[in-house]
Amino acid sequence: YLYPNVLHQLYWGYRESFLCIRLSFVDFNSFVTRTNTCGELRSAHVGQEVTLYGWIQYQRQGLFLVLRDFQGLTQIIIPQDEAHSHVKKLLSNAPVESVVRVTGTVSLRPPGQENPKMPTGDIEVKVETAEILNSCKKLPFEIKDFIKKTEALRMQYRYLDLRSFQLQYNLRLRSQIVMRMREYLCNLHGFVDVETPTLFKRTPGGAKEFLVPSREAGKFYSLPQSPQQFKQLLMVGGLDRYFQVARCYRDEGSRPDRQPEFTQIDIEMSFVDQAGIQRLIEGLLQYSWPEERGSITTPFPSMTYEEALADYGTDKPDTRFGMKIVDISDFLRRSDIQFVQNALSYPRGTVKAICIPQGVRYLKNKDLESLKESAKSQFNQCSALGSLRLESADLLEAAGLVLRNPTVFHFLWVVDFPLFLPKEENPTELESAHHPFTAPHPSDTSLLYSDPTKVRSQHYDLVLNGNEVGGGSIRIHSAEQQRFVLEKVLKEDSEVLSHLLEALEFGAPPHGGIALGKCSLFLCHQNRIPVLRA
Ligand code: ASP
């Protein structure tokens, strides 16, 4: 939680360093009758006649008010003389958040009354005329970042919530980052922005899809989980380098880090390998990364899926802190602790531990009890140690230790995933770890036909601070191999994908791609301080 004045300063700090500098050549006053925004006036403007439009942020005792728009705040002095009694009455009676137009003269604030925290803090505007353009009724909550309000109320009055500095900042930052990404992809690297259809048919595997009724009874469209098939077809069509800020639809139930519709930066390239895609994404993020968040170092470190599971108990490790999982089976083999010996007696039975260096100091008995309870409730799931590691970190942080600095960004590539995993609901059947179009690892291709469970893939995920923020793969470009995977391994009806299989037979180039923005922390959540999603 940031204190209001800190948040306010941060906001202005960000605006100054990122938005204002990058937008310094932008004319915010074109096509409208205002002369300036509420964030623009400085001592250099003293003496100028100005017209401002904005919302009333505060009004004090009929003496002054603060006017706000998307760019900032300006102090307005209400005239007290008889000739302006009409203006005084108008402004003194207008409720907060009413939208007004004022004209007046910029003057310096009296000595000692400057506000160094406000970019417009040296000046004020002495009002000549004013007009209430629309009055505001009683608000459901105050438009101040530090006023606590429930999520439900914020959603109901989203348009009011959007007036806050934080959300204004988030949406503008998102827009700037997407613009920088377009610049990097199209202008520097020759990508083509192509829009693809959203009324489509079923794609086997993956999430549940949303259906849209058609005019023909019993027939439905599916909303695509991603433009995966379209972008592959674009490669067959010789586009060479495609990207799209693409809307995707997945019915993933109540997973807290997912949303039914979200946006991703969707990319596909011909004649590329895994390393090529990784360098492209590192360059893209470095180019579009907001300056105020510091720079990011490339290349990003890389870890195999196997290492990730062994050391962190998850395929999306948060590498901002240690507390890795260690195998202590050998150490305990000679012990006479019965339950340990039981565990070790199973085939491939191991005993693993997490060392919590500060645990003695920070963890209380009730914390240890809650860890034990979670361990019990996840008994037999191999992800258990991964979640215990995160839970221990939560407990340490609740006790005051900072382990996961939210201003630090640890990017990580996770590579060498298995091509197939046992289905959760029926482990004797296989499903694609990424999607059915992913190519096998070149050194494992022959295993595809003998033991598909052992095949590694050319699938890579981008992980940021323990969240999966992107993923992609090099694709199968041989129709024969694609048909084998669909029919023989996944036991899918390949008819559903006959159009794609046919396309692969017409000289499809080798190709691969990626999508950034799967997890809601990335490109589409409008609420939080954004990572990339605003
Ligand atoms: N279509 C994939 C996804 O949205 C990304 C990719 O493989 O390029 O997860």
Task: Give the Å distance between the CA of 417 and the centre of ligand 1.
Answer: 14
Q: How many CB atoms lie within 10 A of CB 495?
A: 10
pLDDT recorded at residue 7: 42
470 bridge partner residues: 462, 516
Q: Which helix (H) or strand (E) holds 51?
A: strand 49-60
- Quickly tell me which residue has 């500098």 as its tokens: 21
CB 200 within 8 A of CB 222: yes
pLDDT recorded at residue 5: 41
Task: Give the Å distance between the CA of 463 and the centre of ligand 1.
Answer: 14
pLDDT recorded at residue 521: 41
Task: Give the Å distance between the CA of 242 and the centre of ligand 1.
Answer: 13
Backbone angles phi, psi at 139, to 5 degrees: -80, 145
CA distance 528 to 394: 19
Question: Radius of gyration (Cα) for the chain, nearest Å?
Answer: 29
Q: Which helix (H) or strand (E) holds 173?
A: helix 165-182
69 bridge partner residues: 72
Task: Give the Å distance between the CA of 475 and the centre of ligand 1.
Answer: 11
- Quickly tell me which residue has 């579009």 as its tokens: 288
Indicate the SS3 state at residue 24.
coil
Q: How many CB atoms lie within 10 A of CB 135?
A: 13
CA distance 265 to 182: 10
pLDDT recorded at residue 425: 87
**CB 395 less than 6 A from any atom of ligand 1:** no
CB 230 within 8 A of CB 500: no
Question: Chain centroid to CA 477: how far?
Answer: 31
**Which residue is closest in CA terms to ligand 1's atom 7?**
472
Q: What is the pTM of this model?
A: 0.89
> In terms of residues, how long is the chain?
534
**CB 436 less than 6 A from any atom of ligand 1:** no
**CB 473 less than 6 A from any atom of ligand 1:** yes
**CB 512 less than 6 A from any atom of ligand 1:** no
Mutate to test the pocket of ligand 1, among 226, 476, 500, 520 (most ligand atoms within 8 A of CB): 226
- Mark residue 175 as left, alpha or beta (left: phi above 0; alpha: psi -120 to 50; beta: remaining): alpha
Backbone angles phi, psi at 231, to 5 degrees: -70, -30
Task: Give the Å distance between the CA of 438 and the centre of ligand 1.
Answer: 10
pLDDT recorded at residue 144: 80
Mutate to test the pocket of ligand 1, among 266, 415, 519 (most ligand atoms within 8 A of CB): 266
CA distance 193 to 227: 13
Task: Give the Å distance between the CA of 514 and the centre of ligand 1.
Answer: 6
CA distance 414 to 319: 12
**Which residue is closest in CA terms to ligand 1's atom 8?**
514
**CB 466 less than 6 A from any atom of ligand 1:** no
Backbone angles phi, psi at 492, to 5 degrees: -100, 160
Between vectors from CA 319 to CA 14 and to CA 414, what angle results, nearest 5°? 105
**CB 104 less than 6 A from any atom of ligand 1:** no
Cβ-count burial of 294 within 10 angstroms (0-12 exposed, 13-18 middle, 19+ buried)? exposed
What's at 317, amino acid-wise? Answer: P
Backbone angles phi, psi at 50, to 5 degrees: -130, 155
The 8-class DSSP code of residue 216 comes to S
**CA-CA distances (angstroms) from residue 402 to 251, 313, 321, 399?**
35, 21, 10, 9
**CB 476 less than 6 A from any atom of ligand 1:** no
Task: Report, as ranges of residue numbers, the positions in the chain whose pLDDT lies below 70.
Answer: 1-24, 256-257, 518-534
What's at 190, amino acid-wise? Answer: G
Per-residue pLDDT tens over the stretch 35-58: 999 999 999 999 999 999 999 999
Tokens for 113, please give them. Answer: 């009354």
Strands 420-422 and 467-474: unpaired
**CA-CA distances (angstroms) from residue 517 to 259, 278, 459, 471?**
11, 15, 16, 9
CB 404 within 8 A of CB 393: yes
pLDDT recorded at residue 258: 72
Backbone angles phi, psi at 470, to 5 degrees: -170, 160
Per-residue pLDDT tens over the stretch 148-192: 889 899 999 999 999 998 899 999 999 999 999 999 999 999 999
What's at 534, amino acid-wise? Answer: A
Burial string for 39-59 (b: 16+ CB within 10 Å, else e) reads bbbeeebeeeebbbbbbbbeb
